[in-house]
Amino acid sequence: MLTNAPKGTKDITPDRIHRWHHIEKKFADICKRYGFGELRTPMFEHTELINRGVGDTTDIVQKEMYTFDDHGGRSLTLKPEGTAPAVRSFVEHRMYAEVQPTKLYYDTACFRYEKPQSGRLREFHQFGVEIFGTPNMMADADVICLGHDFIKEMGIKDVVLEINSVGCPTCRKRYRKALQDFLRPNYDKLCRTCKDRFEKNPMRILDCKSDEDKELVKDAPEMLEYLCDECSEAFNELKKNLEAMGLNYRVNPRIVRGLDYYTKTAFEFVSNKIGAQGTVCGGGRYDDLCREIGGPPIPGVGFGLGKERLLMLMDANGVEIPEDEPTQVFIVAMGEESKKKGLEILRDLHQNGISAEMDTLARNVKGQFKYAARMGVKQTIVIGDEELQKGVVQLKDMDAHEQREIPFGEIISVVKQQKEGI
C-alpha cells in the first residue's frame, strides 16, 4: 500500500511530463492572446463556499467532496472545480472595482471522490477561463471561441460544439413546474438521487446517468420552449455571434451541466472518441453566482477543460507531442584530476544556461560513453591527463562521430554556438 499512489490518483513521471508541459504552455499562450490574466487559488476553500457556489443538489456537494475540519474547527474542502474559487477571489480582491470586464484563466488540480475510470480520476487537473462584469453575449462567444481554437490547435478533430440555454430564475420557474408535471406519473420509477432532485432541482434529472431515468425523460419538455423574452433574445444573440465567428454548433436542449450556478448559456465540446462521457470541455454563464456567495451582482461566464481527457483525446487523434530536448552535454572524465576539472566545467555550463551532466557512479570511460548515448546527449566533453596538460578538451559530436580540440577558455562560446545551430 505504501508503494502505491492513492486510488484515483496518478503520478506524472519524467518520461510523460513533456506531454503536460506542452498543453500547459499552449493553453497559457492562447489565454494571453485572448487577453486573459492568470489566477492561482488555494487547493482548499471554506466548505460553505463550495456548498453555496456549486449547489447543494449537485452530485459534487452531496457525495463527492473531500471535506475536513482543521485544527481550529473550520470546515474546509479540497476544491472540486475552479469557478467557485475564482468567483471568491474576484469578490475578495474587489476586482469588480476595476475597469470591466475582468478576464481570468487558471490551471489547477481538483478533487472529487468518484469512481475512477478512464479519463476521470479523484485528483484531476483542469484548465479554466472566466469573464466577469458583462452580460453581453459577446463574452459567451469569446470563451467558446477560445475553447474551440485551443482544441483545434491541439490537433483534435471531430469535436462538436453543443449549446443550450438553461434560462434564468424567472423562466425556469415555469419550466420547473412543467417538468415536474411531466415526471410526476413516473416518480416511483426514478432513481433515489433523482427523487431527491424532484423538488429541489428537477432539471438535474435531465443530467442523470441512469439508463432508466434517461428513458423516462426522453420525451420531457425542453427548456427552450419556456424561455422568457430576455433569455430567448440572449440565446439568439449567442448564435449570431458564433456564426459571425465562423463557429459551427449544434443546439442540444438536454445540456444542463452538472452544476447549479448556470444561467442562460450552457455549452459543451463533445467527442465520440473517449467513451460514453465524451465531454472534453464545458461551461456557461452564471449571472447570480457572485451575489450567491455574498458579493455584488456581477455576471460571469466561463468554462472548464479536463487535462487528462484532453490528452486522451489527443492520443485518440494520433497527435504526436514533441518530447523535451535531451541534455546537451555530458562530461567524460578520465581520472581524479580530470574529474575535478570536469566539475569546474560543469558548473560553468550550468551558470551559462547550458544543460549538462557528469557521471556520479564511478563508471569507466566506456560506461560513461554508453550512458551518454542512452541519454541521447548531443555532445560529450572528454577530459584526460593529456588534455589537462594541453589546456584543452575533446568536444565530440555524438551523431556525426566527429571530435575536435577546444581550449578551456572557449568551451562555453563553442557549446553555445552549437546549441544555437551557428
Q: What is the pLDDT of residues 303-320, one digit of tens each?
A: 999 999 999 999 999 999
- Higher pLDDT: 398 or 341? It is 341
Residue 52's pLDDT band (boundaries 50, 70, 90)?
Answer: confident
The top-level CATH class assigned to 17-168+228-316 is alpha beta
pLDDT above 90 for 230: yes
pLDDT at 211: 81
pLDDT at 276: 57
Looking only at the bridges linking them, the beta strands covering 300-306 and 263-270 are unpaired
pLDDT at 287: 94
Ranges 206-210, 241-245, 395-399, most confident: 241-245
| Location of each CATH 3.40.50.800 domain in the chain | 329-415
CATH number corresponding to 329-415: 3.40.50.800
Single pTM value for the model: 0.91
- Higher pLDDT: 118 or 286? It is 286
| Location of each CATH 3.30.930.10 domain in the chain | 17-168+228-316
The average confidence (pLDDT) of the chain is: 92
pLDDT above 90 for 12: yes
pLDDT at 362: 92
Rounded-to-integer distance, Cα 50 and Cα 81, Å: 9
Instruction: Tell me what percent of the residues of the chain surpass a pLDDT of 70.
Output: 98
- Higher pLDDT: 300 or 204? It is 300
Task: Kindly report, residue by residue over 148-197, the tens digit of the pLDDT.
Answer: 999 999 999 889 999 999 999 899 889 889 999 999 998 888 888 888 88
Task: Kindly report, residue by residue over 131-150, the tens digit of the pLDDT.
Answer: 999 999 999 999 999 999 99
Neighbouring residues of 337: CB distance < 8 A, sequence distance ≥ 6:
385, 388
Looking only at the bridges linking them, the beta strands covering 67-69 and 75-78 are antiparallel
Task: Kindly report, residue by residue over 26-49, the tens digit of the pLDDT.
Answer: 999 999 999 999 999 999 999 999
